[in-house]
Amino acid sequence: MTTPNPVFPTNSSDAIVIGGGPVGSYVAFHLAKAGVKTTVYEEHPQVGVPSHCAGHLSIRSLKNMGLYPLPEGIEENTFCSANFYSSYGTNFKLSLSCPVTVALNRACFDQYLAEQAKTAGASYVLNTRVQSLLVTNGFVRGVKIKQVNSGEENIFSKVVIDAEGISSRLLHQAGLRTKKPSRIVYTAEAEIANIFNCERNAVEVYFGKEYAPGFYGWLIPRRDGSAKLGLATNKGNPLEYLKRLIAKHPVASRQLAKAKIIRINYHAISLGGPIPKSYTNGFLAVGDCASQIKPTTGGGVIFGLSCAKIAAQVASSAIRNDDVSAESLKVYQQRCNELTNLDFGVMLRLRRFLDSLSDDKLDEMLRVCQKLGVDKALRDVDEIDFQGKMLLAVLRKPAVAAAFLYFGLLYLSTNP
Ligand SMILES: Cc1cc2nc3c(=O)[nH]c(=O)nc-3n(C[C@H](O)[C@H](O)[C@H](O)COP(=O)(O)OP(=O)(O)OC[C@H]3O[C@@H](n4cnc5c(N)ncnc54)[C@H](O)[C@@H]3O)c2cc1C
């Protein structure tokens, strides 16, 4: 596609960010802080709504980014335990020495990040969808926008940062490969009231091919007795699986016997690891759009925010140096790789391992963890995002090393 050469009219920005999700706002915050004239386009009338996320994040990672503690009203609960259940109801309980994770109200969290970006100087244009990229001679020069109740308009910029989330519809126009379709799981997440027999500070995780093939189900309780209940599957209709989990899972069915579903959202998560290339001339892709999501848990906020900060640093320096070519922007990819390559390598293997297990083997695995005292060995763990580095650290503990050896043999016996 070609467009006329840009004239940089008054409505142009140095940087355009597509999408006002957490990642888009965090990029905008760091760009604006660096003095870059930044505009965020968000297709919805309000940032953070509709929300599709459990908002379960690591406290340590948020602290490392200067985002914890959060202002009142965003935090819903903190957790120091997790119960992992097999499809037969076997429970492996992990109890940590202090709260390690937090559940956030994602709409409020997204709005907080957007406010931070605005305070730093970024502009937000809501109700405005980016329809396409403006590409001239292999350079992304801006975007074509469409505002509700008005026509299309071309907006030019020096850099476009794509943070449009999992749909990643615009990536192909930049000549980049998108997420792997075979590694997508589909989610249903419900807001529920009236949960029973759940510890207030424990996250519940339900495994089983009958309930959540290719992933797992989760229950994240709030302090007020309500909860987020969700699951993802790599086949079939996630709502049907959610109904089955509520009705039939040996543990979930008891906890949810009187549960009232208030609302359900549907979305998708990419478990295939980051896209191979996330930059081109005048363009960077970040967050879910670049599939910067943990293949083990589907968590994408922390990796997305970490890469967003790098994207903003690289883009602002490229703009300052008046060189936004792919050659200049490729350092974004290099720095993201340095930060996450080990962890994605480990998590992709763990995902493959989990996918390969039958329900019987998974049940056995939870029993073995219990027997070997893996829970005690992991008591002081507070790193849950960078799982490659975390694994290297905990492998020094004999119980974890023994469990790891056992799982390695299990994997080899299942996949000769
Ligand atoms: C059910 C579920 C539960 C999850 N739970 C967790 C969890 O507990 N912890 C965790 O870390 N991660 C979780 N995730 C993943 C997490 O939600 C994502 O990783 C995170 O939202 C990525 O942020 P983002 O800003 O890249 O994308 P998004 O949050 O999807 O934001 C993208 C924004 O771009 C806007 N947009 C899209 N296209 C356009 C366009 N063309 N023009 C203008 N605006 C556009 C959208 O409206 C949206 O506001 C979960 C995901 C799902 C589906």
pLDDT band at 411 (very low <50, low <70, confident <90, very high): low
**Sign of the torsion formed by the C-alpha atoms of 175, 286, 313 and 307:** negative
Of the three residues 270, 295, 312, the one that is the final residue of a domain is: 270
**CATH number, domain containing residue 214:** 3.30.9.10
Residues 39 and 120 grouped into a single domain:
yes
Q: Which domain holds residue 298?
A: 13-50+108-179+276-348
Residues 237 and 280 grouped into a single domain:
no
pTM: 0.94
Task: Look at residue 397 and tell me if it is in a domain.
Answer: yes
Task: Look at residue 18 and tell me if it is in a domain.
Answer: yes
Q: Within the chain, what is the greatest distance between any pair of CA atoms? A: 69
CA dihedral 62, 65, 68, 71 (to 10 degrees): -120
**Sign of the torsion formed by the C-alpha atoms of 302, 216, 214 and 163:** negative
Residues 242 and 285 grouped into a single domain:
no
CA–CA gap between residue 33 and residue 146 (Å, rounded): 28
What's the chain's length in residues?
416
Of the three residues 348, 371, 390, the one that is the final residue of a domain is: 348
β-bridge mates for residue 279, sequence order: 284
pLDDT digits (tens, 9 = 90+) for 2-47: 344 444 455 678 999 999 999 999 999 999 999 999 999 999 999 9
Nearest CA to ligand 1 atom 27: 165
Number of domains, the chain = 3
Instruction: Decide if 252 contacts 206 (C-beta within 8 A).
Output: yes
304 three-state secondary structure: helix
Residues 33 and 113 grouped into a single domain:
yes
Least confident range of 37-46, 145-154, 274-283 = 145-154
Residues 186 and 86 grouped into a single domain:
yes
pLDDT digits (tens, 9 = 90+) for 390-407: 888 777 888 787 777 777
pLDDT at 10: 55
pLDDT digits (tens, 9 = 90+) for 245-255: 999 999 999 99
SS3 assignment for 169-206: CCHHHHCCCCCCHHHEEEEEEEEEECCCCCCCCEEEEE
Q: What is the mean pLDDT of the chain?
A: 93
Task: Look at residue 1 and tell me if it is in a domain.
Answer: no
CA–CA gap between residue 204 and residue 212 (Å, rounded): 14
Residues having CB closer than 6 A to ligand 1 are: 18-24, 41-44, 52-57, 129-130, 163-167, 187, 189, 230, 267, 269, 287-289, 293, 298-302, 304
Q: How far is the CA of 344 from the centre of ligand 1 (A)?
A: 19
23 three-state secondary structure: helix
Burial (CB count within 10 angstroms: exposed 0-12, middle 13-18, buried 19+), residue 411:
middle
Tokens of 131: 């329809």
pLDDT digits (tens, 9 = 90+) for 221-241: 999 889 999 999 999 999 999
CA–CA gap between residue 191 and residue 271 (Å, rounded): 24
Task: Look at residue 203 and tell me if it is in a domain.
Answer: yes
Residues 189 and 92 grouped into a single domain:
yes
pLDDT at 270: 97
* Helices 326-356 and 301-320, packing angle to 10 deg: 170
Task: Look at residue 266 and tell me if it is in a domain.
Answer: yes
